[in-house]
Amino acid sequence: MLATGTGLAPLKALLEQILEAGSKNPVWLYWGGRGSSDLYFSKQMRDLENAFGKFHYIPVLSNPEPAWSGEVGYIQQVAARDHPSLNDDYVYACGAPAMVNAARVILTKTCNLPDQAFFADAFGQLVTGSVTPNQLVKVSMHGPNGQSTQLNLPEGSSPMEALRIGGHIKGICGGHASCGTCRVNINPKWVEKLKPVSHAEKRLLTTLDEFRSGDRLACQLIVTKTLMGLDFTIPDHLW
């Protein structure tokens, strides 16, 4: 399994199903981010690794802090190094399109992974159904001309993923808070209920055109049960 950023959410649901079903095959999860703060579920992944002997969790950072002692680089490259022969395996990838495309090439061309054993876009459709109703958080999205839509988001995911899949935003950078194309404006009553704006997010937001109070990057928001009913608007020029 390969995931970047909030791409972990759907893979996590599948992973838990596989492990709880008592799979006899080893499962490897490579989760990538820029810094350690991007790997917001690391403790839970380590707990799963300790509970299930056949599960291996490999976090990978592309721009780590000096104290980082784990893998450095890109998950597809680390996975290819660790698994030079994937003839009889399956790979599930979820996250930034650049990662998915690069992983498909390197694993099929250099590790002999069969083309039909690489699941990415189609897999996104598959795992949606594996999330149980009590893991979903309902939020409201508003667009141009008062258009409103309710979204059911998996707990632990980012609104950016659903918005990008639905074609509502571009999310060009894949969740690394570097492009601003996933900007949303939060209903004032919800602003204080969100996690504080990080320095990197604030720095980017304040450089964007038409910046307003309540603006946040959807890629930096993590869906939790406390956000049930979250209400936000996508700026007209990003729609």
Whether this model's pTM surpasses 0.85: no
- pLDDT tens across 86-95, in order? 998 999 998 8
What are the residue ranges in the chain where pLDDT is below 50? 121-131
**Per-residue confidence (pLDDT) for residue 31, from 0 to 100:** 95
Quickly tell me which residue has 């919800």 as its tokens.
190
**Per-residue confidence (pLDDT) for residue 146, from 0 to 100:** 72
CA 46 – CA 58 distance, rounded (Å): 9
**Domain finish residue from 128, 147, 174:** 128
- DSSP per-residue string spanning 125-180: HHHHTTS-GGGEEEEEEE-GGG-EEEEEEETT--HHHHHHHTTS---TTSSSSSS-
Alpha carbon 139 to its chain's center: 18
- The answer on 112 and 6 residing in a single domain is yes
**Per-residue confidence (pLDDT) for residue 239, from 0 to 100:** 63
Share of residues in the chain with pLDDT > 70 (%): 91
- The answer on 111 and 143 residing in a single domain is no
User: 138 vs 147, 153, 196, CA distance in Å?
Assistant: 17, 6, 21
**Per-residue confidence (pLDDT) for residue 57, from 0 to 100:** 97
Range of the domain at 153: 133-238
**Per-residue confidence (pLDDT) for residue 165, from 0 to 100:** 59
CA 33 – CA 22 distance, rounded (Å): 29
- The answer on 59 and 177 residing in a single domain is no
Q: What is the largest CA-CA distance in the chain?
A: 54
Supply the CATH number for residue 150's domain. 3.10.20.30
Q: How many domains, in total, are found in the chain?
A: 2
HEC letters along 79-117: HHHHCCCCCCCCEEEECCHHHHHHHHHHHHHHCCCCHHH
Supply the CATH number for residue 122's domain. 3.40.50.80
**Per-residue confidence (pLDDT) for residue 7, from 0 to 100:** 83
- pLDDT tens across 34-46, in order? 889 889 889 999 9
* Tokens standing for residue 224: 């939790």
How would you classify residue 23: left for phi > 0, otherwise alpha for psi between -120 and 50, otherwise beta?
A: beta
